[in-house]
Amino acid sequence: MFKFLAAYCIEPKKDLVIKETTIDNLNSKEVLIKVLYSGVCHSDIHIIDGDWESRGFIRYPLVPGHEIVGEVVEVGSNVQFIKKGDIVGLPWVYSSCLNCEYCISANEQFCENRKITGIHSIGGFSEYIVAIEDFLTIIPKDMDLKSSAPLFCAGLTVYSAIKNLNLKPNSYIAILGIGGLGHLAIQIAKIFGLNVISFSSNQDKKDLALKLGSDYFFNYNEIEKIKSIGKIDAVLSTLPNIKGKSEIIMNFINYLKPFGKISFVGAHLEELQFKPIDLISKNLIITGNAVGNRINLRELINLAYKKNIKAIIEEFSFRDINKAIEKVRKGTVKFRAVINFSKQN
């Protein structure tokens, strides 16, 4: 039996409680990981605040966290590809059946028997975790590890969304929001060879957007400036909430080319309104993207290593985890919160 500290969500809308917990002996395909860095995702806030409790798959108490980077310290008897000392990452999908139509088609995130990191297992807000070999991704040791943690959810989500849009190089994509998802989406869209038009309500983000690779920057009330560029091929909305912006977002329909697409990755709960005739008249598609699969994740880590894709992060110590959660909840963190387990208060 192995003892360590973990931050538990005992009940919704309460501060996490750090307490001692234990891990029993590893199963044959399991790996014991010392957590080095763990991102705080907005999905963690939804879980901690009870926003998703009605969906039926969340049971308290739990240890959240699904953007995990750590070092392998022990392996099970039948672990074949991962060894002690490897640096690995674990995303949202903790495990799946590997036999259903979704798993066979590399869409394990939709497996009806999937388990979620930080819900069905001890998540990354913990000094140690146990993971299954098949669902880990090895990370180059000389990669910027602390900036890599958010790639395991935020990065994977926008990478998969942009890849699934299936745009040709030199296509035009509008990215809405330059926050935790959007600043990664800009970098990834450029890797795909796309022309990026960034939109934000915060004019102060213009210089950053252009530095990250955006070709254009507009405020939402400047949407008509798209006309000077020409009609666009796709819109990616990374906004965590759209209060006061619903009508603006759907106005982008008017600026899309035939066969254009709007993809949502920001998990807001507000309703959208649009006229079906506007979709019909140009064969438009409105879609969404739920995280991604292991193939896409490994592609992303490889690209991030080679092309220097990095999350902009704010670091917190493990003892300050509730402070990190509150900043993410209020939207004041810049841009992704990461718990650094070696950082002292």
> Once rounded to an integer, what is the mean pLDDT over residues 317-324?
97
CA nearest neighbour of 68 among 106, 100, 37:
37
d(CA 291, CA 231): 28
- Give yes or no for a contact between 183 and 208, defined as CB atoms under 8 angstroms apart: yes
Report residue 242's pLDDT band, with 50, 70 and 90 as the boundaries: low
- The CATH number assigned to the domain holding 11 equals 3.90.180.10
299 assigned to some structural domain = no
DSSP state of 176: E
284 assigned to some structural domain = yes
State whether 51 and 162 are in the same domain. no
**pLDDT on residue 27:** 93
d(CA 344, CA 321): 12
pLDDT at 240 over 80: no
State whether 236 and 332 are in the same domain. no
pLDDT at 110 over 80: yes
CA nearest neighbour of 16 among 38, 45, 36, 37:
45
Angle of the 294-307 helix axis to the 182-191 helix axis, nearest 10: 80
Report residue 266's pLDDT band, with 50, 70 and 90 as the boundaries: confident
The contacts found for 57-62 with CB under 8 angstroms, 24 or more apart, are: 57/116, 57/119, 58/119, 59/119, 60/9, 60/10, 60/11, 60/12, 61/8, 61/9, 61/10, 61/11, 62/8, 62/9, 62/118, 62/119, 62/123
Report residue 51's pLDDT band, with 50, 70 and 90 as the boundaries: confident
d(CA 337, CA 41): 8
For residue 17, give Cα distances in angstroms to 5, 12, 278.
10, 12, 50
Length of the chain equals 345
Report residue 272's pLDDT band, with 50, 70 and 90 as the boundaries: confident
pLDDT over 90 percentage in the chain: 85
State whether 7 and 145 are in the same domain. yes
248 assigned to some structural domain = yes
> Once rounded to an integer, what is the mean pLDDT over residues 62-72?
98
Structurally, the chain folds into a number of domains equal to: 2
Task: State the residue range of the domain holding 15.
Answer: 2-152+312-340
State whether 15 and 131 are in the same domain. yes
For tokens 């400036």, name the residue.
225
CA nearest neighbour of 172 among 265, 264, 234, 260:
234
State whether 139 and 197 are in the same domain. no
d(CA 41, CA 299): 21
d(CA 334, CA 120): 29
State whether 7 and 130 are in the same domain. yes
State whether 173 and 142 are in the same domain. no
Tell me whether strands 172-176 and 195-199 are parallel, antiparallel or unpaired: parallel
State whether 32 and 128 are in the same domain. yes
For tokens 């035939």, name the residue.
258
Sheet with 256-264, edge to edge strand ranges = 216-218, 195-199, 172-176, 232-237, 256-264, 285-288
In Å, how far from its chain's centre is CA 329?
15
Residue 261, strand partner residues: 234, 285
DSSP 3-state of 300: helix
d(CA 88, CA 105): 24
- For 138-197, the pLDDT digits (tens) are 999 999 999 999 999 999 999 999 999 999 999 999 999 999 999 999 999 999 999 999
263 assigned to some structural domain = yes
**pLDDT on residue 24:** 85
Structure tokens belonging to residue 191 = 């890797």
Report residue 343's pLDDT band, with 50, 70 and 90 as the boundaries: confident
113 assigned to some structural domain = yes
State whether 118 and 199 are in the same domain. no
State whether 66 and 107 are in the same domain. yes
State whether 125 and 166 are in the same domain. no
Structure tokens belonging to residue 306 = 């080679």
pLDDT at 304 over 70: yes
- Give yes or no for a contact between 118 and 281, defined as CB atoms under 8 angstroms apart: no
Report residue 14's pLDDT band, with 50, 70 and 90 as the boundaries: very high
pLDDT at 245 over 80: no
**pLDDT on residue 244:** 65
| Extended beta strands in 76-133, E state | 87-90, 93-95, 115-116, 128-132
Report residue 268's pLDDT band, with 50, 70 and 90 as the boundaries: low
305 assigned to some structural domain = no
State whether 67 and 14 are in the same domain. yes
170 assigned to some structural domain = yes
pLDDT at 67 over 80: yes
- For 212-221, the pLDDT digits (tens) are 999 999 998 8
**pLDDT on residue 123:** 97
232 assigned to some structural domain = yes
Mean pLDDT computed over every residue of the chain: 93
**pLDDT on residue 195:** 98
- Give yes or no for a contact between 157 and 289, defined as CB atoms under 8 angstroms apart: yes
> Once rounded to an integer, what is the mean pLDDT over residues 265-289?
85
- The CATH number assigned to the domain holding 199 equals 3.40.50.720
Report residue 269's pLDDT band, with 50, 70 and 90 as the boundaries: low
